[in-house]
Structures are given as C-alpha cells and as structure tokens.
Amino acid sequence: MDGAALASAEELPLPNCNVCRRAPVTNRWYSSCLPCRDKRNESKRRTKEKKREQRMRAFQAITRDNIPTSSSSSQNVSAGKKRKVPEEESKADALERMRKRFKKMELVKAADVAPKPVSATHSETVFEKYVDDKNLYKAIKRRYPDSANSIRFYGTYAIIAIPNVNNKLKARQVARDLRSSTPLHFNLEDLEAYPDGTAYIVHYKCTCRAMPPRRASDLSAYFGSKSKPAVDETPKDACRGRIDIRVEDDRSHSKGWLGQRIKVTLNHPKM
C-alpha cells in the first residue's frame, strides 16, 4: 500500500520525552514533550522572578532611607553655606546610582570571603570615633587652636551615603569643610589623591608657614637673568605637617544601610 509507505517515511516515530518518558517529544529538535517543556520554562521563569525580587528587596532596604532629602543632614551644609543637591538629578537617576552602588557592594561582599590584604597603617591606627563632622572639627579646634602646636590626630565619623556623593566627592567635600571649620592651613588645589579599592584618599600638605605657592619655574622667572639652578618645589622651611582624609564604604550599619566612613589624620610637628 503506497499510502502507508509514504506515511512512515515522513513520520518516523518520534522518540519519547526524556523527562516523563511517556509522551513523544514535541518534534525532532527537542528532547522533551510539550507539557514537560512548558513546566520547565515556567519554573525557570519563576526562579528568575524570585531572584529579581530578592535583589529589589535588598536594594530598596538600602535606598528607602537613603534618598537625599534636599538639605536636611550636615553633609550638605558646609560652615553655614548650603550645598544644594543638583536639580537635574531626578529621583530615578538617584535610584539608578544606588542600584549601581549596590551591585558594587555585592561584588565587594563576595570578595570579602577571601582574606584581603589590609594596609599596615590602617589596621594598626586606632581612630577616635566622633558622632559627626561637627564634633570632629570641634575636637580639632580644641586640640589645635593654632598651627604652632604639635598634633597627632586620628578622628573618624560615619554617615549614611547619599546617591550622588561617592567616596571621591565626599573626600573633597570633607577637605573643604575641614579647611573652613578648623584652623588648619592647606591649599585645596595642592593635593595628592588616589583610590584605594573602593575607598578614596586625599593628602594635603600643611601650609601654616604660608608662602605663596612657588615652583622652580616661578623662581627662575622671578630672579630673571640671575637664573638659579632649579630648586626643590617646596621651600626648605616648609611645614612638614600633613592632613590626610580617607573615605571608605561603611557596611556596619545594623539596618543594612550603605554608609561612608570618613577618617581624618593630622600630623603636625611643633614649630
């Protein structure tokens, strides 16, 4: 019978589903039957959805209390001058930033599993804790009323991070505040700055023996034809005092908020 021969050539019996082993596979390209495929796809979808929800819950726990409320906290106020949160940063932008930050945090957490090398100075130095920036500045003023004093100061405080101020920006902000709220002398533009992992560090030289900024080129220009050999950029009698600011992620908050820890180190020789 021609009809039967034709049929068997076109429709070789499909193998059975390799999941339920009962129904034939959907077609030759698949290894499972239609109901089994549907089931598997559905469970994949649910797992994906669950993971997304977990991420969102964790993210929201951090952001809920973390969206900048214009000018409430001290971190936006610098010596009476209010620093405005830029208008163009919409709430959506802020959330996006927080999301990125949170992702970074997750990576950092994963990295925490491995013992990480801690820079010697930071593991040994004990920083005195202050409630906030104001109290830290007060302590500096009290212990360092003028630049003739010798001082070794290690102070720290923590804040809840806000989305548009990363560790680098925060370090520069602290430097400005430190300069305007304490008797410390340093040139905001003359700094050494670099990241240390997710932390950010800035160093300033004390300029208490205030000399106009000098460079070898300025000097030779000043002395004109009597051009001296290039000298050291810093005059010999420059103060060796140092102001160091370190801003790092602070994940110690009990409610899981992402914070920033600010560490201020002052080292000043007696005049």
Identity of the residue, 54 or 150, whose beta carbon is nearer to Zn ion in the bound complex: 150
- The answer to whether 148 contacts Zn ion (rule: CB under 5 A) is no
Structure tokens at 143: 């212990």
Using CB under 5 A, which of 19, 95, 108, 139 touches Zn ion? 19
Structure tokens at 113: 């599993």
Using CB under 5 A, which of 6, 20, 79, 216 touches Zn ion? 20
- The answer to whether 266 contacts Zn ion (rule: CB under 5 A) is no
Stretch that binds Zn ion, among 13-21, 91-99, 132-140, 252-260 (CB under 5 A): 13-21
How would you classify the pairing of strands 151-160 and 128-129?
Answer: parallel
- The answer to whether 211 contacts Zn ion (rule: CB under 5 A) is no
Using CB under 5 A, which of 151, 208, 219, 238 touches Zn ion? 208
Structure tokens at 239: 């103060």
Judge contact between 267 and 151, C-beta under 8 A: yes
DSSP 2-68: HHHHHHHHH-PPPPBPTTTSSSBPSSTT-SS-HHHHHHHHHHHHHHHHHHHHHHHHHHHHHHTTTS-
Using CB under 5 A, which of 101, 179, 241, 260 touches Zn ion? 241
- The answer to whether 36 contacts Zn ion (rule: CB under 5 A) is yes
Using CB under 5 A, which of 159, 206, 258, 264 touches Zn ion? 206
DSSP 173-230: HHHHHHHHHSS--EEEEEEEEEEETTEEEEEEEE-TT------HHHHHHHHGGG-PPP
- The answer to whether 239 contacts Zn ion (rule: CB under 5 A) is yes
- The answer to whether 193 contacts Zn ion (rule: CB under 5 A) is no
- The answer to whether 184 contacts Zn ion (rule: CB under 5 A) is no
- The answer to whether 178 contacts Zn ion (rule: CB under 5 A) is no
Distance from C-alpha of 207 to C-alpha of 12, rounded to nearest angstrom? 90
Summarize as ranges the residues that interact with Zn ion (CB under 5 A).
17, 19-20, 23, 33, 36, 206, 208, 239, 241
